[in-house]
Amino acid sequence: MRKNSREKSVHLCIAAVISGRKEFMKRLAQGKIHERISAIPNAWYPAYIIRGNEKNMMIDAGVNLLGPQYLASIKETIGDARLLHYLFLTHSHYDHIGSASYLKRHVPGLKVGAHERLAGLLRKPSVLEMMNRLSGNHVELSGQNAANEDLTMHPFEISFHLKQGDEFNLGGLTCRVYETPGHTRDSLAFYFPEIETLFPGESCGVVQGEAGRNMAHQEYDIKGGIFQERTAYITNLAAQVSHIAGIQGQGVKPETNERIL
């Protein structure tokens, strides 16, 4: 899949823990981190824009209170929000889907892709109420809505129910979908083979602790060991690719201090 590791530097982030590396340093991604990838709008609640030759994709939608900032960053990154074709979501937590409904209202033609389970959750008023309540706890973001827009999370249409093996052509880049239940039952990872870049979401674990050195990882007994099988596959894939882009919490290999995406 790639050249010998001695010939090409390998960048690892939060997936390092499942590759047997128990310690890592935390480094936050922001702005253009690859010729095809930008992290927006800030280092703490990043979403990722992937630029293909024909279409553009955004991975995750962060928290709802930053909706206007995500939109402004999209325009800054690709010139026109209407050039954003896809928004793919790694899982159903409020801090990863928060601004999806806001972006759907402001980006004509935007198509959202997510696990089919998320579509069911969005139909439950109690789920949306909880997500909005959790979002409201981010008091540090309360001053970001200068125009006093409606940033409430509302139900939104999901155009693609993503599943294992799906592929989407962006023109020169292919997005491959992997189901990775564990952090949530609807967790997904996205891999772009042309640039050997994996977006595992939080499938590999969640950064904890002030120093960002600890990982927490949920395991569910799903369908007779499918979690273990999928995790093993992502572990193997992570060991082969050149770049892994984390969603919230990035790191570097401590023994080499290499920069990750």
Number of C-alpha atoms within 13 angstroms, CB side, residue 203?
32
The C-alpha atoms of residue 156 and residue 29 are separated, in whole angstroms, by 28
Domains of the chain: 14-252 (3.60.15.10)
pLDDT tens sequence across 117-127: 999 999 999 99
Reduced to 3 states (helix: H, G, I; strand: E, B; else coil), residue 209 is coil
Query: Of how many residues is the chain composed?
Result: 261
The C-alpha atoms of residue 7 and residue 10 are separated, in whole angstroms, by 10
Q: Which residues contact 210 (CB under 8 A, 6 or more apart)?
A: none
Whole-angstrom CA distances from 198 to 14, 47, 70, 169 are 11, 14, 22, 16
Decide: 220 and 181 in contact? Cβ < 8 Å.
yes
pLDDT tens sequence across 67-77: 999 999 999 99
pLDDT for the residue 250:
38
Decide: 25 and 56 in contact? Cβ < 8 Å.
no
CB burial class (10 A; 0-12, 13-18, 19+) of residue 145? middle
pLDDT tens sequence across 154-210: 999 999 999 999 999 999 999 999 988 877 888 899 999 999 888 887 665 555 444
pLDDT band at 231 (very low <50, low <70, confident <90, very high): low
Supply 234's token pair.
């992502």
Four-residue CA torsion sign, 254, 26, 214, 128: negative
pTM for the model stands at: 0.76
The C-alpha atoms of residue 145 and residue 141 are separated, in whole angstroms, by 8
Instruction: Output the average pLDDT for the chain.
Output: 75
- Inform me whether the pLDDT recorded for 47 exceeds 90: yes
The C-alpha atoms of residue 58 and residue 39 are separated, in whole angstroms, by 10
The C-alpha atoms of residue 201 and residue 169 are separated, in whole angstroms, by 20
